[in-house]
Amino acid sequence: MKKINFKQLQKVLDALQDGVYITDGNGRTVTVNKAYERITGIQKHKVAGRHMADLVKAGFISKSASLEVIRERQPVTLVQTIHDKRKIFVSATPMFDDHGELTQVITSVRDITELVRAKHAEEQLQQMLSMRKLYAGVPQQTDDNLLISPATHDCYQLAARVARRNVKLLIQGETGTGKTHLARFVHQQSERAAQPFMELNCAAMPEGLLESELFGYVGGAFTGASKQGKKGLLEVARGGTLLLDEVGDLPLALQAKLLKVVDENQFLPVGGTEFIKLDVRLICATHYNLHDRVEQGLFREDLFYRLSVVPLQLPPLRQRQEDIIALLQHYLPRFNQQHEQKCQWQPETLELLSQYTWPGNIRELINLTERLVVSCAQPNIDISDLPAYITGASHSVTPPSYSSLPQQVASLERRLIEAALAEQGTTRAAAAALGIDQSTLVKKKQRWQQQKNTGSSQ
Ligand SMILES: Nc1ncnc2c1ncn2[C@@H]1O[C@H](COP(=O)(O)OP(=O)(O)OP(=O)(O)O)[C@@H](O)[C@H]1O
């Protein structure tokens, strides 16, 4: 076989894609190839013949894999970061002669910046998918559970009309009236239906966490932040719809940040310097009367107007009595099927339930229906199957002769105040709606609380 001379060997080395660095057995540089010069920016003529220890001292490299190999007499692998933040993968191997003398160290250098970037992108993608799973949740009911009743018909019709227009919607209504359901309906009717629908409850977490969930953060943005950063829901829901539930509870500092997002259609992750373009339809929901929150200085007026381009109001169940029976009839066959039962509503049971105030609204109605289906001893659900808090609270089962007029008046007053509180959200708004002083309402509430604690009735 023909012997290769040094010049030919250099040509072979220069043809390689990976960088190569060769030292002799003492750590003195023999040669480097062209790929090494390109990857590291270090020229051959600056290092040839020089000892690795000198090169480290002179700052050419931060750490020498060759010197480590000479010390350990075995292969060494390390990842180095060089001047322009490029990541290089360094793998150094010792060469021995027949007598076991270390003659050379051959080091290969591979630029893994792209690889690291791809891995980072892969991790971010995984993070995005798991966040989508977490925040999209499992819809409690499927579409065929939707009941568009006479009282919500107009609201749903307006929602369907504006669903395809990229306008911001503000849905207001007490807890359990179907705000999330309506937001999901808008999403499904929109051009974004194939993209994710995600939900963030602004009342459920502290301000700092809420900020990073919404906007995301860059790596090392704060103590405890993960190294590779985290995408916010505004980015994770890209292409789809993000429901900001309980937006009335959004802290003022975040309201200012959200206002900027809405105005500029872009946002900055926490600690970031690069803006990310917003491609999310925002729907906001709240149980508060947001206008009142504005008057109380708890919600920014400018943000209120931007978010409520189209306001949608879902009335509480007690104000749409005709819906109560429709919903009870709607959910009974579903739970009958689910639990293999054949329950039926007795007319007087429906009548009584239609007079109940349903503070938990549709959610409460669904839970009660399921509870009755699984617990009823016989197929007919009659009044005696209902819980005492419903039969006791109803006008029709408490004949006037059982209590004095003042007692009945007090009971009615309490029901009206509780209903106003549930609907308005605050004592101030409830008092205003009932035309009484806030302090009077608060005193009554306190008295009922005391009575409850001491176990006495009203
Ligand atoms: N039009 C409807 N037809 C049938 N079921 C409905 C309808 N609207 C809401 N529901 C059901 O009522 C329950 C409560 O609805 P949803 O979670 O949307 O209320 P919400 O107002 O968002 O409550 P919260 O304020 O507590 O988040 C859900 O199980 C939902 O599927």
CA of 240 to the centre of ligand 1 (A): 21
CA of 412 to the centre of ligand 1 (A): 28
Q: Does domain 317-391 have CATH number 1.10.8.60?
A: yes
- Which residue lies with its CA nearest to atom 26 of ligand 1? 175
Q: Which fold has domain 6-111?
A: Beta-Lactamase (3.30.450)
Residue partners of 383: CB distance under 8 A and separation at least 6: 346, 348, 349, 352, 391, 397
Statement: the pTM of the whole predicted model exceeds 0.90: no
CA of 24 to the centre of ligand 1 (A): 75
Full pLDDT tens readout for the chain, 458 residues: 566 688 888 999 999 988 999 999 999 999 999 999 988 888 999 999 999 999 888 888 878 899 999 999 999 888 777 766 677 888 899 999 999 999 999 999 988 877 777 777 677 777 777 777 776 654 444 456 677 777 788 899 999 999 998 889 999 999 999 999 999 999 999 999 999 999 999 988 888 889 989 999 887 666 666 667 888 999 999 999 999 999 999 999 999 999 999 999 999 998 888 899 999 999 999 999 999 999 999 999 999 999 999 999 999 999 888 889 989 999 999 999 999 999 999 989 998 999 899 999 999 999 999 999 999 888 999 898 998 888 874 444 344 344 567 777 787 788 788 877 777 777 888 888 888 888 888 888 888 777 766 654 43
Q: Where are the domains of the chain?
A: 6-111, 118-313, 317-391, 402-454
Instruction: Count CB neighbours of 191 within 10 A.
Output: 12
User: Ligand 1 pocket: which of 362, 364, 423 to mutate (most atoms <8 Å of CB)?
Assistant: 362
- Which residue lies with its CA nearest to atom 8 of ligand 1? 178
Atom index in ligand 1 nearest the CA of residue 171 equals 21
- Measured from CB, residues less than 6 Å from any atom of ligand 1 are 140-141, 145-147, 152, 173, 175-181, 245, 287, 362-363, 366
- 118-313 CATH, one of 3.40.190.150, 3.30.1180.20, 3.40.50.300, 1.10.760.10: 3.40.50.300
